[in-house]
Structure 1
């Protein structure tokens, strides 16, 4: 699926604020509200738009500590096994297989350092994990939530 310029502009505007009205978006991109709605409906049906959500500051939910865990797994550990295990942890915000020495990179939010340590210990204790390496975030410098094509 390839997005045309208007689709990209609509997706970008929705990613900045998913509560914008179709009329408001249409005014920015030069389409009527019904035309924007048809495009959004098509983008949802085709899977380009997978949903609408709200972004919440983790600190507002009591998650004061953020860190990343590199996972080094036993040979022949399937990515689906990693995903299934990590899905059980509410503290895991994201997880990806990666290039390099580690098998996966896991983003974790915790209430404090002790809580992060407990999550790290539980993840390290998964049967397929050989070892972990972690880093803590001191200050997030840049977070982008808007969509846009790579340039």
Structure 2
């Protein structure tokens, strides 16, 4: 899909604030609101915009602990990788998980309420026998965060 400067500006505005009105965006790109809507529809149909989301303050909801878990699984075959993906997908605390090359086999980003919640989560991971051990990295603060 080819994007011009106006498309990129529209995407930047929606990445910053997905609720920004077409009229507001139209003023910035010198188009009419219906023309902006047509472009957004085309960008969605072409896959450049996958969807719209809400940014949530998780700490305000009691989810105070964010971790990156380096998981070591022994020989990670396709069947065990798929089984681990299924286990992780059922856990609401898991935000993202990646099969990686390097020191660990899998990296999991999770958000939990507290240390007791983390301990419960780790015991559940070990209970399936796929994850042999982990290294836990606690996120202290975000240095850079990009959306979109």
Same topology, TM > 0.5:
yes
Seen in structure 2, the aligned counterparts of structure 1 residues 44 and 88 have a Cα distance that, compared at 3 Å, is: same
Write the deviation string for residues 71-124 of structure 1: whole angstroms up to 9, x where unpaired.
Answer: 222331454433222111111111122231212211111111111121122123
SS in 2 for 1:129: coil
Q: Name the structure 1 match of 2:76.
A: 75
Q: Name the structure 1 match of 2:98.
A: 96
Q: Distance in 2 between matches of 1:18 and 1:6?
A: 17
Match runs of 1:85-124 below 5 Å:
85-124=87-126
Greater relative contact order structure (CA < 8 Å, 6+ sep):
1
SS in 1 for 2:96: strand
Write the deviation string for residues 25-60 of structure 1: whole angstroms up to 9, x where unpaired.
Answer: 111122211111011111111222111111111111
CA RMSD of aligned residues (A): 1.7
Gaps of 5+ in 1: none
Whether the aligned pair in 1 keeps the contact of 2:63 and 2:112 (CA below 8 Å) is yes
Seen in structure 2, the aligned counterparts of structure 1 residues 50 and 77 have a Cα distance that, compared at 3 Å, is: same
Deviating runs (4+, > 4 A) in structure 1? none
Q: Name the structure 2 match of 1:54.
A: 54
Whether the aligned pair in 2 keeps the contact of 1:69 and 1:120 (CA below 8 Å) is no
Gaps of 5+ in 2: none
- TM-score by length of structure 1 reads 0.86
- TM-score by length of structure 2 reads 0.88
Whether the aligned pair in 2 keeps the contact of 1:77 and 1:128 (CA below 8 Å) is no
Match runs of 1:18-57 below 5 Å:
18-57=18-57
